[in-house]
Amino acid sequence: MSAATPAASAWEITCDAGPATELLRVTDLETQFFIEEGVVRAVNGISYTINEQEIVGIVGESGCGKSVSQLSVMQLIRKPGRVVGGEVWFQGSNLLKYRANGSEMRSIRGAKISMIFQEPMTSLNPVLTIGHQLTETLKLHLGMNHKESRSRAAELLESVGIPSAATRLDDYPHQFSGGMRQRVMIAMGVSCQPRMVIADEPTTALDCTTQAQLLELMLSSIDSCKGALVLVTHNLGVVARYAQRIYIMYAGKIVEQGTCRDIFYRPRHPYTVGLLKSVPRLDEERGRRLVPIPGTPPNLIDLADRCAFFPRCAERTERCRVQAWPELIPVDGDGHLTRCYMRAEGANS
């Protein structure tokens, strides 16, 4: 994003924080959905931190709670769901203390923490022009007038590579292609120079080459406003390329966390190992047999106290069956933790 116009500096937020300062701390977050069949424990007590300007990957399969956890942080959970416990500390305040529709939360959403969703068609309002939707945040959060916000919106669209941006402001979402719509989403996501962007499967619905274009674009946009990025995805390749730290989620809990290299070269949870072995890789010799993870993910309504991965685990023992699911155990040093007895002991002994 260019700050070329003199007016731009007026609303440019200066950031001077070093890369290692903590930006967001989530502790024991719990979100449940109260449906007829029972209580779905979608997010079952997760704790994590995001540092300033850091790129963090949250990886897991559908239904593991990765998206719900992010929506909970933003207080965007709708009925029958509810955040039932935990704290979300951001810039000195606990976001969960605020009312979901209150002014405090609204001043954070879109301005300090923004979200980029997977489905650009459903997350853009089809009956409002792109310009309307882009300027809305600018007017609301940065107090710009109509004219200022229009020119800033055009600048933003240009910065995400939309040709003849000024005229396209008056177009509706359906007049853009899928890739272009996602570019608009990125422009909206970074429009107020947020401290953190949560991208929920940002490129899953797109083609390979468009995916590559947009990931690079998103990274450079967020980099230029010095924000942090939370990349929620099931694509291990994408996190291998971009993420500095990774959280692996399964059945509503974080089962392993560590640096990118910890996760890929020293995986310490059987589920992580399973994921890595089950994907075909572009660079491998032909004919390697994939090792699928047998079975299916557990039903989140009646979760036993023991390890939720137990029924599918290749390394399970009698102890895993009888004992409770352990908390995250530190393994081989700095910040690498796993929620598995067997692997942790194997690594630490």
Cβ-in-10-Å burial (0-12, 13-18, 19+) of 41 comes to buried
Nearer to other proteins, 16 or 283 (CB): 283
Least CB distance to other proteins at residue 245 (A) = 12
Q: Does residue 291 touch other proteins according to CB under 8 A? A: yes
DSSP characters over 95-148 = GGGS-TTSHHHHHHBTTTEEEE-S-HHHHS-TTS-HHHHHHHHHHHHH---HHH
Dihedral sign, CA of 155, 156, 157, 160?
Answer: positive
Distance, in Å, from the CA atom of 294 to the CA atom of 314, rounded to the nearest integer, reads: 9
DSSP letter string over 41-63?
Answer: EEEEEEEEEEETT-EEEEE--TT
Residues 203-222 that bind other proteins (CB under 8 A): 207-213, 216
SS3 94: strand
Residue of 61, 158, 171, 315 that binds other proteins (CB under 8 A):
61
> Using CA atoms, how far apart are residues 153 and 170, in angstroms rounded to an integer?
11
Among the listed ranges 97-105, 116-124, 275-283, 319-327, the one in contact with other proteins (CB under 8 A) is 275-283
Region from 24-32, 112-120, 148-156, 202-210 binding other proteins, contact rule CB under 8 A: 202-210
The DSSP code for 253 is E
- Binding other proteins (rule: CB under 8 A), the pick from 16, 36, 283, 305 is 283
* Contact positions with other proteins (CB under 8 A) in 251-270: 260-261, 264-265
Site for other proteins contains 294 (CB under 8 A)? yes
Least distance in Å: CB of 289 to other proteins?
7
The answer to whether 49 contacts other proteins (rule: CB under 8 A) is no
Other C-beta atoms lying within 10 Å of the C-beta of residue 281: 11
What is the contact mask toward other proteins in residues 131 to 170, using x (rule: CB under 8 A)? Answer: ----------------------------------------
CB within 8 A of 137, min separation 6: which ones? 110, 111, 188, 191, 192
Q: Is 235 in the site for other proteins (CB under 8 A)?
A: yes
Q: Tokens in use for 127?
A: 């009956």
**Cα–Cα distance, 182 to 176 (Å, whole number):** 9
* Of 203, 230, 240, 252, residue with least CA distance to 62: 252
Let me know: does 55 contact 244? Beta carbons within 8 Å: yes
CB 102 to other proteins: min, Å: 37
CB of 178 to other proteins, least distance (A): 8
Q: Is 274 in the site for other proteins (CB under 8 A)?
A: yes
Question: Apex CA 46: angle with CA 93 and CA 23, to 5°?
Answer: 35
Q: Determine, following the binding rule CB under 8 A, whether residue 174 of this chain makes contact with other proteins.
A: no
Stretch that binds other proteins, among 127-135, 146-154, 174-182, 318-326 (CB under 8 A): 174-182
In the bound complex, what is the minimum distance in angstroms from residue 82's beta carbon to other proteins?
A: 26
**Closest separation between CB of residue 61 and other proteins, Å?**
4
| Piece in contact with other proteins (CB under 8 A), picked from 32-40, 41-49, 104-112, 201-209 | 201-209
Residues at the interface with other proteins (CB under 8 A)? 61-62, 177, 179-180, 207-213, 216, 234-241, 260-261, 264-265, 274-276, 278-283, 286-294, 296-297
